[in-house]
Amino acid sequence: MLILMDLNAPREHIEKVKKKIVAKECTPHEIPGSRKLAIGITGPSGNLSIEDFLGMDSVDEVLRVSKPYKLVGREMKPDDTVIDFENASIGGEKLTIIAGPCSVESKDQIFEVAGSLKELGIKFLRAGAYKPRSSPYSFQGLKEKGIEYLADVKRELGMKIVTEAKDTHTLPLIAEVADIVQIGARNMQNFSLLEEAGKIKNPILLKRGLAAKMEDLLMSAEYILSQGNYNVILCERGIRTFETHTRNTLDLNIVPVIKKHSHLPIIVDPSHGVGIWDKVTPMAMAAVACGADGLMIEVHSHPEEALSDGFQSLTIKNFKNLLEKIEKIASVVDKRIDNEEIQISN
């Protein structure tokens, strides 16, 4: 259910409404919008009726929400969600570029890549310290050591860190350093992890699972929002189909579909989506052209030596080339790359 109130409703009117919701064992979610203040309600749906709120002070309208997802839907919040960071933001007119290697491999390696990316104006560094791998015998990341190096990069280069939490156990440690906590595709329906992610303050980057329908992705995001963390960034990274010409089938169709059904920003990871470096640039361009709010790109100073996913990583040079092309596409769709100081055209 959704209660729409005057934007200028006095605090006491709002609190009265929220109190009534809590009294019925439901949870109120304040969602400020451009024209109205909405109070979303989640919890046992049978406990409340529209009549309970009609006629209350500052209440304009009370609506049933028809979709299975509530807080992530456009019905609840028509305006795009924009997530603000110090000196950056995700969503709206900004096009966010998150770049970096698959894994932190050593202090030297991560500083080398990060330094090169910073020179290109990149604000968000991606790199995994805890790596979920299909095989127990594959490189599983540098773990605590990796987080430590990322903290060093953050402090010394001033970059924002995007890194994955693969379980509830390591989430608190990661949340201390990460500006954005990533939840990977294989964990998209790890509901315990989603709930914990909903209880921290960090924005969450939620990757779509290999077999997740659009609605599954939104329901997983709903888990996070329902716990009080409204800063979720969705990420398309390829689904599993019969086609084997690419590692996965990057499903760009979901971008305009999500834009219609949800207010959350959605970015695209073409590196995992196609899995071969020479297809990354055209698919990144396509992603921006169809409305994505950002890109997540694997970049490595020496892809041929990478401990994981080297074949899908761009070199710094190829990445710079990609940025130039993306910049032009962005302008066609009225977006602007959110870069520190773009020096990519020389």
Interface residue with its own copies among 11, 46, 55, 136 (CB under 8 A) is 136
Cα 288 from Cα 284, distance rounded (Å) = 6
Candidate residues 7, 23, 64, 68; the one interacting with its own copies per rule CB under 8 A: 68
Task: Please report where in the chains the tokens 């000196």 appear, as a residue.
Answer: 87
Q: Min. distance of Cβ 151 from its own copies in angstroms?
A: 22
Please say which residue, 151 or 210, places its beta carbon nearer to its own copies. Answer: 210
**Residues 94-133 close enough to bind its own copies by CB under 8 A:** 132-133
**143 sits near its own copies (criterion: CB under 8 A):** no
Figure out which of the listed residues 4, 17, 38, 252 binds its own copies, where binding follows CB under 8 A: 252
Q: Residue 157 or 211: which CB sits closer to its own copies?
A: 211
Which of these segments, 12-20, 51-59, 63-71, 115-123, binds its own copies (CB under 8 A)? 63-71
Distance, C-alpha 81 to centroid of its chain: 11
Contacts to its own copies from residues 146-165, by CB under 8 A:
none
**Near its own copies by CB under 8 A, which window of 37-45, 47-55, 101-109, 146-154?**
37-45
Q: Does 291 bind its own copies (CB under 8 A)?
A: yes
Shortest Cβ 80–its own copies spacing (Å): 15
Q: Is 43 in the site for its own copies (CB under 8 A)?
A: yes
Contacts of 325 (CB under 8 A, 6+ apart): 281, 284, 285
Here the tokens at position 19 are 């109190």
Q: How many residues bind its own copies (CB under 8 A)?
A: 72
- Judged by CB under 8 A, the chain residues 170 through 189 that form the site for its own copies are 186-187, 189
According to CB under 8 A, which residues from 196 to 225 bind its own copies? 209-211, 213-216, 219-220, 222-223
Check: CB of residue 234 under 8 Å from CB of residue 206.
Answer: yes
- Under the criterion CB under 8 A, does residue 33 sit at the interface with its own copies? no
264 binds its own copies (CB under 8 A): no
CB 231 within 8 A of CB 200: no
Residue with token string 């994981």: 308
Choose, by CB under 8 A, the member of 56, 167, 311, 340 that binds its own copies. 167
Based on the shown chain and the rule CB under 8 A, indicate whether residue 325 belongs to the binding site for its own copies: yes
Binding of its own copies at residue 282 (CB under 8 A)? yes
CA atoms within 13 A of residue 302's CA, in its CB half-sphere: 11
171 Cβ neighbours under 8 A, 6+ residues apart: 165, 181, 193, 196, 197, 200
Residue 19 found at the interface with its own copies (CB under 8 A): no
